[in-house]
Amino acid sequence: MNIVIVKDDAIPEALEELLPAHSHGGRYRVVLLSRFIAMHGLQFDEASGRFLGAGGDGGEALADVDLVVDRVVEVSRQTCVAVAGAGIQPPARGQLLQAYQSLLARYRRPRAGGECYSTVGTLVPLFAQWAIVRRMLPWLRVPEYKYGYGPEPVDAGDFLRPIYKTPFDFYDWRPNRAPEGIPNDRFVVERPAGDPTLTFFCGHRAATRALTDSDRIDASMALRLADATTLLADRFGAWMGEVLWFVDGDSIVFAAFSHRLDAGKRFPELFAMFEQAIADRIALESGAA
């Protein structure tokens, strides 16, 4: 079986980092997004602002591919420049995503649907995630935050453990100090009480792990988090990803949903879970499941 994993040219991908450590890594091939576009004969035409050549045969080396795993969570500036080539004004990220999406439609690929701002699913900032969770799972708590739109000042003096960050920073939850100057769109979050806990998933498989060595998760809490993760994965249209929680006794705070696996990659069972989810997908499509 030949499986291609497509990733952005510049943004690290957990699966690529894990491949060398696994004996079955030879069945997978990692292809950069700019290379994937070029393989299909697409070129960006600066004059028209369009990708041309969509009628090509689409497969310099992909004719024998059984499955394409899309891991392009975001498109970097470097990828846009690489696709355009030297001396050409690069396409906008949205233009590149649209061309990429048209190519993905040619292949079998594990997906959950609900794509919005990303081909892997719905990619939205933290405050939008929290609004979704409030409506969808009201029994979960979400962090307190303050957001100064534009130059609007933010007073976080009542926060005990403030975290100044951007709304798309899903991973840094260390309390810090306000940045110097008066930046636009200042965003500050109160770090939730409790122990940071991670649930990562591939397909219908999930695992929950404590993020500090001293913490242990009881079976009933792990089940609650796994059930909530399944609902969130469906809502965010994700086939792979991870959720950060803060657990304090029976109280659960939903902190962030990420299509990336930057925290989960530290756990050795992640790659085995990925392979099992791939096998589940193939069995389902072949009618064996």
258 and 125 belong to one structural domain:
yes
Q: Which of 126, 160, 190 is where one domain is finished? A: 190
Tell me if residue 91 falls in helix, strand or coil: coil
74 and 139 belong to one structural domain:
no
Tell me the C-alpha distance between 131 and 135, whole Å.
7
Asked whether the beta carbons of 64 and 50 are under 8 A apart, the reply is no
Q: What's the pLDDT at 289?
A: 44
237 and 120 belong to one structural domain:
yes
Radius of gyration of the chain (CA): 21
Tell me the C-alpha distance between 238 and 262, whole Å.
15
231 and 99 belong to one structural domain:
no
Q: What's the pLDDT at 110?
A: 87
218 and 268 belong to one structural domain:
yes
CA 102 to chain centre: 20
124 and 217 belong to one structural domain:
yes
Q: What are phi and psi of 43, to 5 degrees?
A: -135, 145
pTM, two decimals, is 0.91
Tell me if residue 227 falls in helix, strand or coil: helix
Strands (E), 18-155: 28-32, 43-45, 50-52, 67-70, 145-148
19 and 135 belong to one structural domain:
no
Q: Which of 104, 135, 168 is where one domain is finished? A: 104
Tell me the C-alpha distance between 138 and 119, whole Å.
28
Q: Give me 94's structure tokens.
A: 């949205």
180 and 198 belong to one structural domain:
no
Digit-by-digit pLDDT tens for the chain (289 residues) are: 789 999 999 999 999 999 887 655 578 999 999 999 999 998 898 888 888 885 444 545 567 888 999 999 999 999 999 999 888 999 999 999 999 999 998 898 887 666 677 899 999 999 999 999 999 999 999 999 999 888 888 889 999 999 999 999 999 999 999 888 767 889 999 999 999 999 999 999 999 999 987 667 889 999 999 999 999 999 999 999 999 999 999 999 999 999 999 999 999 899 999 999 999 888 877 765 4
259 and 209 belong to one structural domain:
yes
User: Given the DSSP bridges, would you call strands 43-45 and 67-70 parallel, antiparallel or unpaired?
Assistant: unpaired
Tell me the C-alpha distance between 252 and 227, whole Å.
13
Residue with tokens 């993020």: 211
Read off the CATH number of the domain in which 250 is found.
Answer: 3.30.470.20
Number of domain units in the chain? 3
33 and 97 belong to one structural domain:
yes
Asked whether the beta carbons of 107 and 65 are under 8 A apart, the reply is yes
2 exposure class (CB count in 10 Å sphere: 0-12, 13-18, 19+): middle
278 exposure class (CB count in 10 Å sphere: 0-12, 13-18, 19+): buried
Asked whether the beta carbons of 32 and 8 are under 8 A apart, the reply is yes
What is the domain extent for residue 71?
Answer: 3-104
63 and 98 belong to one structural domain:
yes
Q: What's the pLDDT at 159?
A: 96
221 and 119 belong to one structural domain:
yes
Q: What's the pLDDT at 285?
A: 72
